[in-house]
Structure formats: structure tokens, C-alpha cells
């Protein structure tokens, strides 16, 4: 699989397709997008190779054309299983949903660790056969806990970090360690109600829809590139508890969708936004 982004110009599709053809590759899926405002071309290509094909020679030719055309070109194995760490606090609905989907094969991933600043979800996590690490936060020394989180992620050789209602700020140095590899679920249809207690603020505002947003984490709180969102209608009859209940259902589906899209290599980021290939 290829993920490509580069300045737009004529001949880009032909350049990569021609190399794949010369090496006997069969393109089984190709999707592309041109952002005229940014002058950017983005593409996702799935292909198969004959058993006797020289994958190293193909890679060398692709690297050469990427250098010539100013491409950012990534080769990915679509059959690989990503190693996902889940971070969670008190609210466990997204954690349980993700663990269930992984166990059922709905999300192709391995979860080698769940990390929490509370001990509430140890029993359920370990019931799924996943190690649970409790790292409480000392309000007077938050960085020690954050450093312990990073050490655990590194030790588990993590590909993707998922914040499943993890109610702690991720420090910039940890964000930089996993660029575009930390996904958060925010219980609001961003950019509305950034930050804490969005359901309470939505109720106070009298909104007619509520939603959830899965996005990559950046150093700016709740402002990273959006992967996917969804909403549900609400009315004046719904109190805060009802909004939280309705919103929790959306949070689970939106977060699972975002994790699946990332692990399937269907997301490209640029200019604090994403292209999500179907």
C-alpha cells in the first residue's frame, strides 16, 4: 500500500502507476484528492505483487520518483496488526467498546496495555487478557506520571495511543513522541464546547444536536486534525444525564471508526486537517 502527498502537478498518477506496472504490480484500489487551496495532491493506492517480484527494487524506484517529484511517500503493509495502547480515566464505556471490538476482530489490532490514572477498570481489562497499568496522578508532580506513561508506551512498542476518555492533558513532549499517532475522543461536535464539561455547557446553551469528535492530539487542546464526527438530535426535554447517555453511544462509534481508519491507513494529515479515504 502507498500513501502519497506532494505539491500538485500533472503526471503524478502516471508516475507512480507506471512504476507499479513495470514491476508487475496490480493496482486493486486507488483513491485520490486534490486540495486546490493548498496546491496539494494526496493519494492512497492498494496493490498486489507477484510472488517472484523484487519488492526492494520497487521500493528503490518509488523512492527515486518521490525524491524527483517532492513526494512524501509511505509504504504500508495492509495486513499488519497495529499495537494499540488505550488510556482511560473514570468513564469506561469507550474502553469496553474498543476491547470488545478488538476481541471480535472488528478492529484489527493488538492491545498490549491499558493505562489509567484510576484503578476502576482493572478487572474488566484483565478479563479481556490485557495487562492493566495503574498510574495515579500526583497533583503536585504530574510530570512523574506522564514520564511513567511514556516509559510504558515505549516498553510496549506502541504504534497508536487511544485516549478513551482519558481526562488528563498530554504534555507537548509526549505529543511530539507520537505525532499523528494519538487519537482522542472529545464529547462534543468540535469546534463547539472545547474543553471540560461539554454536555453541561450544551444543555445550558439549549442545543438541538450533540455530537462527538475523534481527532489527532496536538499541543493545542481539542484543536487537532479531525478524523470523524457524528451527531444525534436532542430536545428541551433532555436533561444533562440524558445528554451524557446519548452522547456516550456516539462517542463509542466515532472513536472505534477513527481507530479503524487509522489502522487501515486511510487518513492523511496536512494543514491541521485530514483527508479520509473510504
Q: What is the CATH number of the domain that holds 8?
A: 3.30.70.260
The pLDDT score that the predictor gives to residue 21 is 94
One domain for residues 26 and 126: no
71 in the same domain as 86:
no
Q: Which one of 75, 95, 122 terminates a domain?
A: 75
Residues 181 and 125 in one domain: yes
Confidence of residue 148 (pLDDT cuts 50, 70, 90): very high
CA 240 to chain centre: 28
pLDDT category of residue 129 using cuts at 50, 70 and 90: very high
Residue where a domain stops, chosen among 47, 75, 103: 75
The pLDDT of residue 29 = 95
* pLDDT for position 198: 86
Least confident of 50-54, 105-109, 113-117, 126-130: 50-54
58 and 87 inside one domain: no
Q: Are residues 254 and 118 in the same domain?
A: yes
**Are 104 and 46 found together in one domain?**
no
Q: Return the pLDDT at 196.
A: 82
pLDDT tens for residues 186-215? Answer: 988 887 878 888 889 888 999 999 899 999
How much is the pLDDT for 193? 79
Q: What is the pLDDT of residue 215?
A: 97
Residue 224 DSSP one-character state? S
Are 51 and 97 in a shared domain?
A: no
Q: Which helix (H) or strand (E) holds 127?
A: helix 122-127
Give the pLDDT mean for 118-129. Answer: 97
Domain boundary among 60, 75, 90: 75
What's residue 195's pLDDT?
Answer: 81
- Could you tell me if 147 and 267 lie in one domain? yes
Tell whether 53 and 104 lie within a shared domain: no
Q: Is the pLDDT of residue 161 over 90?
A: yes
Cα–Cα dist 213/190, whole Å = 6
Is residue 231's pLDDT more than 90? yes
Q: Are residues 52 and 86 in the same domain?
A: no
**Which amino acids are annotated catalytic?**
222
Pair (167, 49) in one structural domain: no
Q: What is the mean pLDDT of residues 258-277?
A: 97
Q: What letter would DSSP give residue 39?
A: T
- pLDDT tens, residue by residue, 235-256: 899 899 998 898 899 999 999 9
In this predicted structure, what is the pLDDT of residue 252? 97
Domain count, the chain: 2
Indicate which CATH number applies to the domain containing 224: 3.40.50.170
pLDDT at 187: 84
Print the domain residue range for 51. Answer: 2-75
pTM attached to this predicted model:
0.93
- Determine the pLDDT at residue 132: 98
**Proportion of the chain above pLDDT 90, given as a percent:** 85
Mean pLDDT for the stretch of residues 23-34: 96
Q: Are 162 and 251 in contact (CB under 8 A)?
A: no
The reply to whether 217 and 121 lie within a common domain is yes
pLDDT at res. 99: 98
Amino acid at each position: 500500500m502507498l500513501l502519497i502527498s506532494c505539491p500538485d502537478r500533472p503526471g503524478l498518477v502516471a508516475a507512480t502507476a507506471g512504476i507499479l506496472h513495470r514491476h508487475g504490480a496490480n493496482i486493486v484500489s486507488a483513491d485520490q484528492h486534490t486540495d486546490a487551496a493548498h496546491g496539494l495532491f494526496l493519494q492512497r493506492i492498494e496493490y498486489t505483487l507477484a510472488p517472484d517480484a523484487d519488492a526492494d527494487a520497487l521500493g528503490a524506484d518509488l523512492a527515486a520518483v518521490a525524491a524527483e517529484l517532492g513526494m512524501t511517500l509511505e509504504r504500508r503493509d495492509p495486513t499488519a496488526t497495529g499495537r494499540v495502547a488505550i488510556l482511560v480515566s473514570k468513564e469506561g464505556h469507550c474502553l469496553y467498546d474498543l476491547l470488545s471490538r478488538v476481541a471480535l476482530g472488528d478492529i484489527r489490532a493488538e492491545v498490549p496495555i491499558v493505562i489509567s490514572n484510576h484503578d476502576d477498570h482493572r478487572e474488566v481489562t484483565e478479563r479481556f487478557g490485557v495487562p492493566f497499568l495503574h498510574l495515579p496522578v500526583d497533583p503536585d508532580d504530574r510530570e512523574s506520571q506522564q514520564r511513567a506513561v511514556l516509559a510504558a508506551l515505549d516498553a510496549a512498542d506502541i504504534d497508536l495511543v487511544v485516549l478513551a476518555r482519558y481526562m488528563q492533558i498530554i504534555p507537548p513532549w509526549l505529543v511530539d513522541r507520537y505525532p499523528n499517532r494519538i487519537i482522542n475522543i472529545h464529547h462534543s461536535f468540535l469546534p463547539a464546547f472545547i474543553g471540560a464539561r461539554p454536555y453541561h455547557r450544551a444543555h445550558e446553551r439549549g442545543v438541538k444536536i450533540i455530537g462527538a469528535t475523534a481527532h489527532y492530539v496536538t499541543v493545542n487542546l481539542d484543536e487537532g486534525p479531525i478524523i470523524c464526527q457524528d451527531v444525534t438530535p436532542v430536545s428541551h426535554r433532555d436533561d444533562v444525564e440524558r445528554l451524557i447517555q446519548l452522547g456516550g453511544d456516539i462517542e463509542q462509534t466515532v472513536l472505534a471508526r477513527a481507530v479503524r481508519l487509522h489502522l487501515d491507513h486511510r487518513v492523511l494529515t496536512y494543514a491541521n486537517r485530514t483527508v479520509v479515504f473510504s
